[in-house]
Amino acid sequence: PATLRKLDGDDVPQGRRVFTAATSARMRQLLRMIVSEGTGRSADAKGFRVGGKTGSAEKPEEGRYNKSSLVTTFASAFPMDNPRYVVLAMMDEPKGNAETFGLRTAAWTASPVVKRVVERVGPMLGVMPDERRDVDISDLMPLLWKAKGESE
């Protein structure tokens, strides 16, 4: 069960299963695929098996959405083969720059922050990078859209 408390190895809080093990495994695959193949690629801290979801939202203003006013979020967990930690990066009014080609979405602003945090705190938390293991997403790869003529 998820908790905000630091726990000893034997101190597991009581909980009840809400999703089947198969659903949880599929969600871990999907979240990992977002980072390895999708909009969260800039959060891919090599060997840490980060999974997550980007989100970019226009902020409401005077009863409508302001297209030039954004909040971006990248919600992530790692390592996705056995999730232990959550990292959430949220930015209010991010600015595009030359490095992001002027883009301000979560893929360009919040995701890279998660990568830097995971690379720095992972080893402090006892999670060492290991590029020999990862979440198997091979059965999901045929579902990805490819441009005409793009190799698989």
| 79: preceding bond cis by omega (within 30 degrees) | yes
Q: How many residues does the chain have?
A: 152
pLDDT for 119-141, tens place per residue?
999 999 999 999 999 999 999 99
Q: For 52, which DSSP code?
A: E
Contact 76, 40 (CB under 8 A): yes
**Domain residue limits, the chain:** 21-124
Q: Phi and psi (nearest 5°) for 54?
A: -85, 155
- Tens of pLDDT, residue by residue over 16-74, are 888 999 999 999 999 999 999 999 999 999 999 999 999 999 999 999 999 889 999 99
Between 146 and 46, whose confidence is greater? Answer: 46
Superfamily grouping for domain 21-124: DD-peptidase/beta-lactamase superfamily (3.40.710.10)
Measured between alpha carbons, how far is 103 from 17 in angstroms, rounded to an integer?
40
Handedness of CA 65, 70, 71, 74 (dihedral sign): positive
- Residue 14 is given by DSSP the state P
